[in-house]
Amino acid sequence: MKSILAVCSLLVASVAAAPLEARTAPSVTFSLANDQSGANAAASFPADGTSRTIASLFGTSSVASNGHVWATSAQLTAFPQTITCALTNNGVTIAALSAERTFADVDGNPNAAIPVDLTGALINCQA
């Protein structure tokens, strides 16, 4: 009986001491386009649920001008099938993207291409 308890204790201790396998978040590629200027740019980052600023992702890209990021649309171009993304600007969700809905008109007007200043916007993707 004591030997069974000792074996069980060793098994429990070895399982508890085993390192947990780290799960790496899959990558997502998110792009912005400005249909008035013709500019577009893409950024890839882990879909780990972290909010990222559009300025940090696109501030030096072709959709940036004079310190501002201007876009008329947003799109997921590479992503896992379980992806969900929210693009928020001034605390308001302007685009909810997923594997089923990969494109968004960020100005909200499908009949016009009106660039929106997304410099202060955030993108948050989770898979």
pLDDT at 11 over 50: no
Sequence ranges of the domains in the chain: 27-126
Under 8 Å between Cβ of 49 and 126: yes
Tell me the pTM.
Answer: 0.81
43 DSSP β-pair partners: 30
Tens digits of per-residue pLDDT, 49-108?
999 999 999 999 999 999 999 999 999 999 999 999 999 999 999 999 999 999 999 998
* DSSP code for 118: -
**pLDDT given for residue 14 in this prediction:** 46
**pLDDT given for residue 22 in this prediction:** 62
Q: What is the CA radius of gyration of the chain?
A: 22
pLDDT at 6 over 50: no
Which two three-digit tokens encode residue 105? 């008109």
